[in-house]
Amino acid sequence: MIQVEITNGFHRGNVVTGVFKLIKPYQEGASGGFITVEAPKDCPWAMTNAPRIKLSQTDFKLLDAEGEALGSHIVVGTGDKGSMSTGTNYENAFAELESEEEAMDRIESTFLMLDKITDACSKNIVRGLVVSGPPGIGKSFGVEKQLEAANLFRTMAGQDPLYEVVSGGVSSIGLYQKLYHNRSKAQVLVFDDCDGVLFDEECLNLLKAALNSGDKRRINWNKESRVLQSEDIPDSFDFEASIIFLSNVDFEKSIAKGSRVGNHLEAIMSRCHYLDLEIGSLRDKLLRIKQIVRDGMLSPYEFTTAQETEVINFVLTNSEYLREVSLRMVKKIADFVKTDPAGWLEMAEATCLQREARFKRLLNKKKADADKRGLVLSII
């Protein structure tokens, strides 16, 4: 038997706390995360024997049958017949033995590796690279910085750089055009925030052809197109450039889940280099932020040590409530501190916290204040 100790859950407007038998592990639904527990007999707030409790992953911990806490490396799943099963998450197991400084150095090393491979793409040594990682951790910044450095002398001479960054939605015909205009060996084509390409059959086939590891990469457009005719673009050409595809999609997890594009993602991975930036957990995102700040991200703001500490502490303290845990969020908060060093906190709370989470935080503050005064708050 696996139990769960809930510190801050909700069910039909009722606050739920305590230890319960776990029926189904944590899941993400349309309106947030939840777990399914076995309701105690004569439970006043449960409408069923197996109520779903809304909460976040920091609002509960798993216990064994004796009530001892399970390690964070223990993962819980549901077996074929609905029985609970446990396994080991080796990433979490390693994280438990890794200090924060070691983790930040590991993350920094991974991004330095991205810099090296990007440089190899600019030299056409590496012709295809897919980089996977959550948004707002510096994927785009690092890649563009390396490509700018590789094109420095061209820029100084007033020449166009030999790379292009494509962002946002791309149609299949638009993708074909971009591949044609960036087809030479000296060029690098970067796709950033274009994950929609992965869910379009025609785009995927074009991308697979462009990323092919063979000596010759032939790109074909087998449909009549007035757009191509008007721009004098042939219906087939040899693609010799390098491609860097920056994605928020975790290819390995998508393949393991058996998603509808899983086979295509597997085909892409087999055709090119795949770099997972290994920032999947909230802990890693926060350590990435600390690592970048440690390396001088906030230097342009000319903050005092105390102000810089305030920015980081706001992110760390409110990580559960932020609209996004990212480097962009750090910059937003830093902008407020620069704008109003005395009153920035109110602005940050009003704009950076999720609405539901903001009221959840206010509720927790109210409960804590009531506890201090010896009062009991009841939510019905």
Average pLDDT, the chain: 88
pLDDT digits (tens, 9 = 90+) for 204-230: 999 999 988 777 899 999 888 899 999
Of the chain, the percentage scoring pLDDT greater than 70 comes to: 94
What letter represents residue 27's amino acid? Q
Those residues with Cβ within 8 angstroms of residue 184's Cβ, 6 or more apart along the chain or in another chain: 240, 241
Residue 360 has pLDDT above 90, yes or no: no
Looking at 125-139, 251-265, 331-345, which range is the least confident one? 251-265
Those residues with Cβ within 8 angstroms of residue 308's Cβ, 6 or more apart along the chain or in another chain: 293, 298
Residue 165 pLDDT level (bands cut at 50, 70, 90):
very high
Distances (CA, A) of 120 to 4, 69, 106, 191: 49, 47, 21, 17
Residue 80 pLDDT level (bands cut at 50, 70, 90):
low
Average pLDDT over residues 28-40: 86
pLDDT digits (tens, 9 = 90+) for 286-325: 999 999 998 899 999 999 999 999 999 999 999 988 999 9
From the centroid of its chain, how far is CA 231?
A: 38
Residue 275 has pLDDT above 90, yes or no: yes
Res 18: pLDDT: 92
Residue 89 has pLDDT above 80, yes or no: no
Higher local confidence (pLDDT), 247 or 82: 247
pLDDT digits (tens, 9 = 90+) for 38-47: 998 888 888 8
Residue 361 has pLDDT above 90, yes or no: no
Average pLDDT over residues 268-294: 89
Residue 269 has pLDDT above 60, yes or no: yes
pLDDT digits (tens, 9 = 90+) for 95-134: 777 888 888 898 999 999 999 999 999 999 999 999 999 8
CA angle 242–246–247, rounded 5-degree value: 140
Res 29: pLDDT: 78
Q: Residue 11: phi, psi to the nearest 5?
A: -145, 115
